[in-house]
C-alpha cells in the first residue's frame, strides 16, 4: 500500500510541475506578445514645419504602420526589379529570335536560288537525254513515263501548307524518278552498241593513236616497181620500230606466220565474218588459237618482209572481200562524238 501512495504522490508532483511550467511559459509568451504589441502600437508624431507662417502639418504614425509601409515599399521595389529583369530577358530572347528569323530567311533565299539552278540543270538534262534518244533512234517525248519540266513554270495553286520551293523539289524528284527508266534503257543500248563495236575492227591499230597513214587503200604506185597497183590495206608509220600494235576487235588468232611480202604477220578472226591482218611486224606477242580482246597488244611495228621502212600494213576482210580499213579505224570515236 505504501508503494501505491508514493506513486500517487510522485504522479501528482509531476502534474503540478507541468502545470507550473506551462503557466510560466504562457505568461512568458504573453509578456513577449504584449511587449511586441505595445512596441508596434507606439505612436509617433511627424511634424512638417514650413519656412513660412503657413499651417504646421502633423502626422501621427505607429511602428506597425511604419513596418507595413516599408514592407509594401520593399514589395513594390522587388516587383519593379523582377519585371525589369524579365523584360530585359524577353527583349534579348526576341532579339535572338529576330536574328534566327533573318538567318532562316537568308537560308530560304539560298534554297530558292539553288532550286532554280536545279530546275535549269534538269532542263539541260532533259534536253541531253532527248538528244541521246534521238541518236539511238527513239523519241523521248512519246514516252508516257516522261516527266514534264514545263510544269515547273506554270502558275497554279499550291497545295495547302506547302511552300512553292518544297512543291518544286517534290515535282523535280518525281521527274528524276520517272527519268530513271529511260536512262537505264540508254545504258543498255550503249552497252549493246559497245559490245557490237568491240566485235568490229573499230579502233586505231597502233596503241595510243600513234602514227599516220603513209599509204591509203586502193590504187597507189608500187615503191619497188614504180607501177600502179591495188594496195589492199593501209600503211601506218610512226618513223620507228617497236611501237605496240593492238587488236582492233575481239577475236581469235588464226595465223602467225612469215613470208617474203608481209614479213612477220598475224591474222585475227572476228565475229560477223571479219578478219584483220597485221604485217611487217618486228615481233609478235600472241600464240596461235589465243583469244584476244579489243585493245590487247599483239605485236610491235617492224620492217620485215618487202618494206621500205618501219611501218604497219593493216588489212580488213569481210569474208573473201577486202575493204578499206579507213572506214573502220575511227568508227568508235565518231559514234562517241555523235553521242555527245
Domain extent listing, the chain: 1-38, 119-198, 207-339
Round the average pLDDT of the chain to a whole number and report it.
Answer: 79
**pLDDT for position 144:** 46
Of 106-120, 181-195, 217-231, 248-262, which gets the smallest average pLDDT? 181-195
**In percent, how much of the chain has pLDDT > 70?**
75
What pLDDT is attached to residue 153?
43
C-alpha 340/C-alpha 331 separation (Å) is 15
- Please tell me what DSSP assigns to residue 274: E
pLDDT tens-digit map of 146-179: 444 444 444 344 444 456 666 767 776 766 666 6
**Exposure string (b/e) for 241-278, b if CB count within 10 Å is 16 or more?**
bebbbbbbbbbebeebeeeeebbbbbbbebeeebbbbb
Q: Is the pLDDT of residue 129 over 50?
A: yes
CATH 3.40.630.10 fits 207-339, yes or no: no
Give Cβ neighbours of residue 33 (< 8 Å, ≥ 6 apart): none
Q: Which of 87-91, 254-258, 266-270, 276-280 has the lowest mean pLDDT?
A: 87-91
pLDDT (mean) for 297-311: 95
By mean pLDDT, which of 76-90, 252-266, 302-316 is the weakest?
76-90
Tell me the mean pLDDT in the region 207-211: 92
Which of 68-72, 280-284, 330-334 is least confident? 330-334
Mean pLDDT of 203-227: 91
Q: Flag the least confident range among 38-47, 149-158, 293-302.
A: 149-158
Contact in structure between 298 and 259 (CB atoms under 8 Å): no
Least confident of 5-9, 41-45, 334-338: 334-338
Q: Cα(180)–Cα(173) distance, rounded to whole angstroms?
A: 11
**Is residue 50's pLDDT more than 80?**
no
Angstrom distance (rounded) from CA 329 to CA 278? 14
Q: Are 173 and 119 in contact (CB under 8 A)?
A: no
User: What does the pLDDT read at residue 134?
Assistant: 66
pLDDT value at residue 278:
97
Query: What percent helix, strand, coil does the chain show, rounded to 5?
Result: 50, 25, 25
251 pLDDT more than 90: yes
Residue 110: other Cβ atoms inside 10 A: 10
| CA-based R_g, the chain, Å | 54
Residue 77 has pLDDT above 90, yes or no: no
* Residue with more model confidence, 68 or 201: 201
CA distances from 1 to 7, 14, 146, 236 (A): 10, 20, 120, 150
pLDDT of residue 279: 97
Supply the pLDDT for residue 335. Answer: 52
Amino acid at each position: 500500500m505504501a508503494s501505491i501512495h508514493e506513486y500517487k504522490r510522485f504522479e501528482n508532483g509531476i502534474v503540478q510541475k507541468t502545470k507550473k511550467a506551462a503557466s510560466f511559459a504562457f505568461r512568458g509568451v504573453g509578456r513577449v506578445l504584449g511587449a511586441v504589441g505595445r512596441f508596434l502600437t507606439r505612436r509617433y508624431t511627424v511634424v512638417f514645419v514650413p519656412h513660412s507662417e503657413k499651417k504646421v502639418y502633423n502626422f501621427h504614425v505607429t511602428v506597425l504602420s511604419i513596418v507595413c509601409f516599408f514592407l509594401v515599399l520593399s514589395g513594390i521595389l522587388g516587383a519593379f526589379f523582377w519585371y525589369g529583369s524579365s523584360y530585359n530577358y524577353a527583349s534579348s530572347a526576341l532579339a535572338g529570335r529576330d536574328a534566327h528569323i533573318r538567318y532562316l530567311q537568308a537560308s530560304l533565299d539560298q534554297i530558292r536560288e539553288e532550286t532554280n539552278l536545279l530546275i535549269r540543270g534538269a532542263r539541260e538534262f532533259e534536253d541531253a537525254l532527248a538528244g541521246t534518244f534521238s541518236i539511238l533512234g527513239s523519241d523521248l517525248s512519246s514516252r508516257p513515263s516522261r516527266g514534264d519540266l514545263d510544269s515547273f513554270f506554270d502558275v497554279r495553286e499550291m497545295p495547302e501548307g506547302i511552300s512553292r520551293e518544297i512543291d518544286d523539289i517534290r515535282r523535280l524528284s518525281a521527274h528524276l524518278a520517272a527519268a530513271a527508266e529511260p536512262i537505264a534503257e540508254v545504258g543498255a543500248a550503249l552497252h549493246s552498241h559497245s559490245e557490237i563495236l568491240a566485235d568490229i575492227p573499230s579502233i586505231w591499230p597502233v596503241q595510243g593513236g600513234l602514227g599516220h597513214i603513209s599509204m591509203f587503200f586502193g590504187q597507189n604506185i608500187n615503191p619497188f616497181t614504180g607501177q600502179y597497183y591495188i594496195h589492199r590495206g593501209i600503211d601506218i608509220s610512226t618513223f620507228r620500230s617497236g611501237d605496240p600494235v593492238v587488236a582492233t576487235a575481239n577475236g581469235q588468232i588464226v595465223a602467225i606466220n612469215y613470208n617474203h611480202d608481209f614479213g612477220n604477220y598475224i591474222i585475227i578472226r572476228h565475229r560477223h565474218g571479219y578478219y584483220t591482218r597485221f604485217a611487217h611486224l618486228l615481233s609478235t606477242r600472241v600464240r596461235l588459237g589465243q583469244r584476244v580482246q579489243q585493245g590487247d597488244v599483239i605485236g610491235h611495228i617492224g620492217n620485215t618482209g618487202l618494206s621500205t621502212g618501219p611501218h604497219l600494213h593493216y588489212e580488213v576482210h569481210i569474208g573473201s572481200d577486202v575493204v578499206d580499213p579507213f572506214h573502220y579505224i575511227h568508227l568508235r570515236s565518231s559514234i562517241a562524238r555523235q553521242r555527245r
